[in-house]
Amino acid sequence: MFWLTLILVLLHLTRGNSPCFGRSLGISPSRTQFFKWESLTLYCGADERIMTTSTSACSKKGHECNITLAGDRHTGAYWCDSNSGERGEAVNITVTGGSVILESPVHPVQEGSPVTLRCLSCNTCINKLVVVIPINQSCTFSRDGRLIGDGLTGEMSFAAVNRSHEGLYKCTFSGVESPGSWLAVRATSFPPTPAPAPPPHPSSSPPIGLCWTAPPPDGSSGRGRMLLEKKTQRS
C-alpha cells in the first residue's frame, strides 16, 4: 500500500510539473515556427501521449519528444491524447529552410491580453549549426495578406488584443517573408451578473408617527400636548 501511494504521488507531481498539464501541448522554445536543423522539445502530461499528422516519430515517444535536427518531415499538427481517448487542442508546427520566421503565441490568447510578435532570423544556417537571433531592425508585419505596420526593432506589440486581431500573421525582413502563423483570440468569459436584491417587504403594522397639537384657542392650557398617533390606511 505504501509503494502504491508513493507511485501515485510521484505521478501526480510529474504531471503537475509538466509544461503541458491538462492536454495542452507544450513546446520549448515556445513558438510554432522553426528553422531547419533546429532542436526543440514537445511535452504532454505524464499520462498522455503526443499525436501528430507529420511523418516524425514523435507519436511513438510517449508524452515527451526531443527533436534534435528539425526537417520538413516534422512540419504538421501536434496534440496531446489521454489514455481515455480525450484529444487536446492541436498546434501547427512549421519547419522552414528560409532565413526568417515569426515568433507568436503557441496557444489561443484571451481577449484583453498583451501580445508581442517577433521577427527572428537564422544567423548561421549551414552545416547543421543554427543560431537564432532577434531582428533588431525594421520589419513589416501583415495579417491575412494585408500590411498592418512596421516594427522598428523587429517587433509588433498589441496592448490588449480582441477578436479583430485574430488572423494569419507574417513578418518580412529584407524582402524575405516568414511562414504564416495563426493568432487565435478567445472571448473572455465573465461570471453571470447576480440578480438585484428584492426590495424589503412592507411592515405588517402601520408606521407610528409623532404629532404636535396646538394649545386650545381659549388658552385653558399653557402647554401644547405631544400625542402619539397611529396612522391608518385608507380603505
Q: Kindly report, residue by residue over 189-205, the tens digit of the pLDDT.
A: 655 545 445 555 555 45
Which of the 8 DSSP states describes residue 58?
G
Antiparallel, parallel or unpaired: β 167-173 and 76-82: unpaired
Q: Is the pLDDT of residue 213 over 90?
A: no
The pLDDT value recorded for residue 173 is 96
CB-based contacts of 118, cutoff 8 Å, min separation 6: 102, 103, 104, 134, 135, 154, 155
How far is the CA of 98 from the CAs of 90, 113, 140, in angstroms? 24, 30, 17
CA angle, 10 then 14 then 17, to 5°: 135
Q: What percent of the chain has pLDDT over 90?
A: 58
pLDDT digits (tens, 9 = 90+) for 102-146: 999 999 999 999 999 999 998 766 667 788 999 999 999 999 999
The pLDDT value recorded for residue 188 is 79
The pLDDT value recorded for residue 97 is 92
Distance of CA 144 to the CA centre of its chain: 22
126: cell is 549551414
Q: Is the pLDDT of residue 99 over 80?
A: yes
Report d(CA 63, CA 40) in Å as an integer. Answer: 14
pLDDT digits (tens, 9 = 90+) for 3-23: 433 433 343 333 333 444 456
pLDDT digits (tens, 9 = 90+) for 52-90: 999 988 987 899 999 999 999 999 999 999 888 889 999
- Please count the helices (runs of H) and the strands (runs of E) in the chain: 1, 20
Report d(CA 77, CA 34) in Å as an integer. Answer: 14
The pLDDT value recorded for residue 201 is 53
71: cell is 526537417
Report d(CA 45, CA 22) in Å as an integer. Answer: 7
Report d(CA 45, CA 23) in Å as an integer. Answer: 7
Report d(CA 105, CA 110) in Å as an integer. Answer: 11
141: cell is 508585419
